[in-house]
Amino acid sequence: MSHTVDSLKTYYLIFLALMVLTAVTVGAAFIDFGPLNISIAMAIAILKGCLVLWFFMHVRHGNPLLKIFAVAGFLWLVILVAFTLQDYVTRPWQDFEANQRWIKHQATHFEARAALPGNASHGSAH
Amino acid sequence: MNSSGKKTNYLNASHTLSSWFLTVDHKRIAILYLITISIFFFIGGLFAALIRLELLTPAGDLFKSDEYNKLFTLHGIVMIFFFLIPSVPAVLGNFLIPIMIGAKDLAFPRINLLSWYIYVIGATLATLAIMVGGVDTGWTFYTPYSTVYSNGAVALTIVGAFITGFSSILTGLNFLVTIHKMRAPGMTWFRLPLFVWAHYATSLIMVLATPVLASALFLLFLERVFHIGIFNPALGGDPVLFQHLFWFYSHPAVYIMILPSMGVMSELFAAFSRKRIFGYEFVACSSLAIAILGFFVWGHHMFVSGQSMYAGMVFSVLSFLVAIPSAVKAFNWSATLYKGSISYETPMLYAFGFIGLFTIGGLTGLFLSTMAVDVHVHDTYFVVAHFHYIMVGGVLMGYLGGLHYWWPKITGRLYPEAWAKLSALLVFVGFNLTFFPQFLLGYMGMPRRYHMYPEEFQVLNVCSSLGASVLGIGYFLPLVYFLWSLKFGKESPANPWGAKGLEWEIQSPPTTHNFDEIPVVTEEAYAYAKEDGKHHG
Ligand SMILES: [Cu+2]
């Protein structure tokens, strides 16, 4: 890995950016964006995380392999969030009453069969 | 120490206590792990024995319900977190990976030692907390029971498990960097032994999944101790969220356990059929496929948790997909046997046992990832039998097979073959007798985690307890003859099996730095010559 050193100025600038973004987060908390509240807070947080990784943690001077691993970390976070959300997002889609109706409908098939001559004993058992 | 013409090895290089407890030699650290892990294995086994003793009769005659809850929790936590997860990687991986790739040590020897200390501190803390304080949540720590209602030392146990996780992360990181950066000249990726490939895939999971368990346990801790609402509905939390976070780690954790054992299997099948592993590249890549696919299936543990059924469908289909790379491995090992010059030494017996048990465990996994069937058998002994077939039948067969195979390399001594064969047989028979009846019990509706059961289940439960005693003897025997062999075993030559691989080209036991000169690799792994087989047996 090359030994590039960033100037102090860069670090101060990034620090300033992080502070400004923190202020923005706090400010945004006072305004109601409705369902976007979380998305906005998360977007700012991700931006800040990227700045830290890219500059403070020197990923930008890393070799491709190092970058792949850094990206993989993010990708796995996306897997965690996305596959958890597929549960929460699709829960309201479920129609339990329709399920019940379907089960009852299937059950009539068995009742009809039980009523056939020769199957009487099965019918009475239930 | 030069009486037999051998150089001073890593075992007799020095004898002081500090030369062991402050060692940075990956081989000595492997031995430290071997000893501590064995202790935890026998602690976990002791509690398994008590569970099987209680289940001998339908009545709850030995323990009360809450004592029984603590027993199976202790058994689960100790066996999973403190034995199965570190078993193959921390002992065999630690010992063999640097040697197999032609390096003198791991990339970060001190971090390697640190990971052992972290493991010992975390594991001891958690085990003491459960034994003294009593934890009855099961190893899964499900909320809100664990955060609100359970009375035991849950918080302390979680701290212990949390700490141990870092040991796993550090080991994974160490392996990843080592395999990337320390391979000897000529040791290309597709010349690596499949054991190393399997550990590479395992390390990825350790590094990518373990932090999520740490976060989940940390959040649980916050809720339990500081009453911050995260999982408890009364505080505005969601209990299913804990299950998502927990299984995001704990499903891949099954692959942390089984993948290294699969790596051992590849070595055993090649060595004892004197053949290159059939479809080497496919077996190598199937490890990665299992590791990556394994991250997309965790919801199959949550089909009856209130998880959306649409999410359930996605998780179900993806779970079926994991069967493909697993089958690639099982079929390719079987194909390796074809026209091989097979010999039936103890490690190979374990390898055959692995195939049988892993196949049953894997196929019943397909039952369980079928949503409708899972509703019927969820939380029954069917599930218990399934994961024991994978985790004990699979992982332990690999661990013991590998331990026998590399024992001459690790200690420089040969173990008594006849006793070892007997114990391999006892383990296989005892295992099936213990856990096969549990499939039937589960299918008939016996729920897990109860210490009493209806009388019609007794016969199968007696079979299971009987099997457990046979299994216990099977596990106890190696402990005895391995220790015996240290003093009385015949001295091992460098390559007692006539196997291929860098580890067999150096003396047994190896010198502290493994190689005097870094070797130059010119051939692929398993370069068994065609006529090689005819010499053998
Ligand atoms: Cu799973």
Q: What backbone torsions phi and psi does residue B491 show, to the nearest 5 degrees? A: -70, 140
Bridge partners, B491 (sequence order): B413
CA distance A74 to B35: 37
pLDDT at B524: 86
A115-124, B110-119, B288-297: lowest mean pLDDT where?
Answer: A115-124
Question: pLDDT class for B397, splitting at 50, 70, 90?
Answer: very high
Axis-axis angle for helices B280-293, B309-337 (nearest 10)? 160
Q: What percent of chain B has pLDDT over 90?
A: 88
B470-481 confidence digits (pLDDT tens): 999 999 999 999
pLDDT at B2: 45
In a mutational test of the B interface, the residue from A84, A100, A102 whose CB has the highest number of chain B CBs within 10 Å is: A84
pLDDT at A36: 87
pLDDT at B476: 94
Top-confidence residue, B33 or B536? B33
This prediction has a pTM of 0.91
Interface check B371 vs A, CB under 8 A? no
Q: Which residue has the tokens 């509905």?
A: B233
CA of B110 to the centre of ligand 1 (A): 34
> Does residue A7 surpass a pLDDT of 80?
yes
CB pairs A-B closer than 8 Å: 41
CA of B166 to the centre of ligand 1 (A): 22
pLDDT at A120: 52
Please tell me the distance in Å from B310's CA to the nearest CA on chain A.
6
CB neighbours of B512 closer than 8 A, spacing ≥ 6? B8, B9, B10, B13, B25, B27
CA distance B294 to B394: 17
**Which domains does chain B carry?**
25-505 (1.20.210.10)
CA distance B135 to B130: 5
Q: What percent of chain A has pLDDT over 90?
A: 42
Please give the average per-residue pLDDT across B189-217, as a whole number.
96
Q: What backbone torsions phi and psi does residue A33 show, to the nearest 5 degrees? A: -95, 10
pLDDT at B533: 45
pLDDT at A124: 43
Please give the average per-residue pLDDT across B410-415, as a whole number.
95
Buried b (16+ CB within 10 A) or exposed e, B377-415: bbebbbbbbbbbbbbbbbbbbbbbbbbbbbbbbbbbbbb
Closest C-alpha to B490, from B382, B399, B414:
B414
> Does residue A87 surpass a pLDDT of 70?
yes
> Does residue A122 surpass a pLDDT of 50?
no
In a mutational test of the B interface, the residue from A75, A83, A85, A91 whose CB has the highest number of chain B CBs within 10 Å is: A83
pLDDT at B535: 46
Q: Contact B408/B366 with Cβ under 8 angstroms?
A: no
From the list B180, B296, B307, the residue facing A87 with the nearest CB is: B307
> Does residue B260 surpass a pLDDT of 60?
yes
Question: pLDDT class for A115, splitting at 50, 70, 90?
Answer: confident
